[in-house]
C-alpha cells in the first residue's frame, strides 16, 4: 500500500495487461475465500478486490494482519 493523496493506493497486478496497477483505497473491498480441506478442516484466504477504470475486477491475496488493518468495507 502506498500513500500519495487523500486516499492510499493499493497495488494490484493486472493479468490482462501484464502490469502492476494502483487502485485507490476507496475503490477496494475486503473479501474471504473458504474451502474444505481433505482432512475436514477449513482454509480461509484473505483478499482485497479492486475495480479498474474499465470495470474489470482485480484481486490480491494478503495476510490476515494486512486484511485486518484495512478500513475497506467487506463484500
Residues 7-34: what's their mean pLDDT?
Answer: 94
By the 8 A CB rule, do 51 and 57 touch? Answer: yes
- The pLDDT tens digits for 24-46 are 999 999 999 999 999 999 999 99
Which of the two residues, 14 and 2, has the higher pLDDT score?
Answer: 14
pLDDT at 8: 82
- And the C-alpha cell for 46? 484473505
64 to each of 16, 47, 48, 70, how far by Cα in Å?
A: 27, 9, 11, 10
- And the C-alpha cell for 19? 502490469
pLDDT at 4: 47
| Domain ranges within the chain, ordered by starting residue | 9-69
Amino acid at each position: 500500500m502506498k500513500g500519495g493523496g487523500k486516499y492510499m493506493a493499493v497495488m494490484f497486478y493486472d493479468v490482462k495487461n501484464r502490469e502492476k496497477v494502483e487502485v485507490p483505497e476507496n475503490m477496494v473491498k475486503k473479501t474471504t475465500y473458504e474451502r474444505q480441506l481433505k482432512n475436514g478442516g477449513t482454509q480461509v484466504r484473505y483478499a482485497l478486490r479492486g475495480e479498474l477504470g474499465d470495470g474489470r475486477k482485480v484481486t490480491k491475496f494478503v495476510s490476515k494482519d494486512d486484511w485486518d488493518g484495512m478500513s475497506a468495507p467487506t463484500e
